[in-house]
Amino acid sequence: MKRILIKIGGRAFSDKAGFKELAAAIKNIDAEVVIVHGGGAEISQALKDAQRETIFVDGVRVTQKEDVEIVERVLSETVNSRIADYLEEFGVPAQRLSGKSDGLLIAKRTTRRGKDIGLVGEIVEVNSTVVDQALMTGRTAVVSPISADNSGTTYNVNADAAAAALAVGAACTDLVYFSDVPGILDENQQNIPLLSVEAGQFLVQTGIVSGGMVAKMESIFTAIKSGVERVHITQWQGAETLAQVMDGGGLQKTTIHK
């Protein structure tokens, strides 16, 4: 059976109605589904409430030692529970996980453009057994990107990067990013339906793709070079969106390939 990893974010999944549509989409597609989620807006609010400053470098959140506990609570408890509970409510059995679950995602501390960004990790190893077990028992794996290294130090991991690493490690054929944009835009702000890795790298190098999309694109390039066949970026547009992404239906999106 085909295995798909979905990274969810954006306003489409900010309320119960979006998850009702997502549950319907999962039930109607003939594939095993893994979900990786972020929670940027809620993290920013929680940090603000704690009087902590939010700083980004190339779309990656700088995470100091004082911030990690807050970020983990938001992602691995609040957001992860909400997604799993909604899916269960709408008839999709779900398994709550984080990168720390049985060593699912092993991270190491990383920098960004040579800059120290605190306790932010990059994934160096994927142990997909826990995800495999969930899928074998008919459950959708719902994964928070919070991960740890082999000594137990917790790291905030960019959700896009975690999704890419897990898609490779769990042998997914397709990685789908649902966000607030319909795809990758060219210099004329027109959507690019089909994009090779080489062409995508050119867009990043020339600044046509910038900001938070840079980290997403870099994770996509890594995923494709490491075995994921296709990566799709699009907006959620209702319960038929996932099927349309997979069958090439009339949906505005960007599909990135070798």
Distance CA(78)–CA(160), nearest Å, equals 19
Distance CA(71)–CA(120), nearest Å, equals 11
pLDDT at 242: 93
pLDDT at 107 over 80: yes
* CB of 122 closer than 8 Å to CB of 107: yes
Over residues 38-58, mean pLDDT? 90
Residue-wise pLDDT for 129-183, tens only, equals 999 999 999 999 999 999 999 999 999 999 999 999 999 999 999 999 998 888 9
Q: Strands 32-37 and 3-8: what pairing?
A: parallel
User: 10: pLDDT confidence band, cut at 50, 70 and 90?
Assistant: low
Distance CA(219)–CA(158), nearest Å, equals 10
Distance CA(104)–CA(125), nearest Å, equals 8
Average pLDDT, rounded, for the chain: 93
Domain 3-181 falls under CATH 3.40.50.1360: no
pLDDT at 230: 95
